[in-house]
Amino acid sequence: MKDRSIIHLDMDAFFASVEQLDNPEYRGKPVIVGGTPEGRGVVSAASYEARKFGVFSAMSAARARQLCPGGIFVRGNMDRYVEVSHQIGSIFDSFTPLVEPLSLDEAFLDVTGCLKLFGDAETIARKIKDQILEETGLVASVGISHNKFLAKLASDMDKPDGFVVIPKGKEKEILAGLPVGRLWGVGKKCDAVLAGAGVKTVANLLAYSPTALEILIGTERAAHLRALAVGQDDRPVIPDTSAKSIGNEVTFAEDISDSDELKHVIANLADKVAWRLRRSDLQCKTITLKARFADFTTNTRAKSLPEPTDSTVEIRDVAWDLFDTKLKRGGRSIRLVGVAVSGFSDQAIQGNLFQDKDKEEDKKIDRVMDKLAEKYGRGTLKRGR
């Protein structure tokens, strides 16, 4: 198979950087985007000035305040972040059709077929990085290699404002001294199991008996990690296609067991998902709740509605019901929770002769809140329970 030229581009502290861009008085200061310390919210993003204090995404806002008393807490403006993300995506599209977004702030680009037109991968990556800075005022970190795993690894090696290339033939040398936790698929639990067996670096992993490794972590995972340890990753860059689902999830810095706090987070996630539906003129029939527990087991529970909806309250209430009656949590702490919707239909073709008055009122409130969000940013106004 012909060697690929893959670029992974990651915007540095994206949400916080946009806030610093739009608010010059924030520049050079610790900016923390997300919940406020007075509430139960979590950190969505932290500027590098805040990260020096130990503040990271998914940490509770209250904990962030303890670590960084002088931090500037802002609710954030998702409309603005989406706008800038689309602007950056347009730059990607001008170089290659093979763009795989991972989130608003990072993407893989396969530029293998564009080398004769724009130059080698390093030249293309430099052009993209410079164009993003020129057009948006934001800084990106770039990783370049012959597969996705190595490109993403490279983009994270010299943040912020990084530009790292892992050339073919050098991958084993670069990987050998890295912590084994840098391999995809090694979470906290797996990392602890490997460390207990003396496997702390990638070199340790390769020196470990393949049979013993299979016994330790399972045949499939052992094969997967051994392939990554020598720089092998055959996954193609898959361009973005029409979404089959819309979802939001959050991973907590510390596992949460309090049901009220978890339901508060679920309500916020449902609000974001419903807003994205309305923004896309879509309605959904299926709501899915996802939860990952402290032991890394993951449960998903779903419910389909008789009629499609884009209502914040309806999606929230279904997600709450799934949490209360179907999740079978048994009091276990949760490290990740997510809400997703699927089974889409176009709003324009929907209609019901007998309208539910409560649902109609909810829709009116949704429209008012969407208008306020467009003007003042999401999070300005929140629904009561």
Q: Supply the angle between the helices 121-136 and 78-93 in degrees, to the nearest 10.
A: 140
For residues 251, 254, 259, 263, the Cα torsion angle rounded to the nearest 10 degrees is -30
User: Rg of the chain over CA atoms, in angstroms?
Assistant: 22
- For residue 160, whether the previous peptide bond is cis, meaning omega lies within 30 degrees of 0, is yes
Is 106 a catalytic site residue?
Answer: yes
Chain centroid to Cα 177, Å, comes to 27
Supply the DSSP symbol for 347: G
Distances, alpha carbon 252 to alpha carbons 56, 57, 136, in Å? 10, 8, 30
Active-site residue, from 106, 134, 173, 220 = 106
- 224-231: long-range contacts at Cβ-Cβ below 8 A with a sequence spacing of 24 or more? 224/185, 225/180, 225/183, 225/185, 225/186, 228/149, 228/183, 228/184, 228/185, 229/175, 229/183, 229/202, 229/205, 230/171, 230/172, 230/175, 230/206, 231/147, 231/149, 231/150, 231/166, 231/171, 231/172, 231/175
Distances, alpha carbon 327 to alpha carbons 219, 262, 324, 334, in Å? 29, 13, 7, 11
Cβ neighbours of 257 (radius 10 Å): 12
Q: Where does the chain have alpha helices with state H?
A: 14-22, 48-51, 61-67, 78-93, 115-118, 121-136, 148-155, 171-176, 188-196, 202-207, 210-217, 219-229, 259-279, 312-321, 357-376
State the catalytic residues. 106
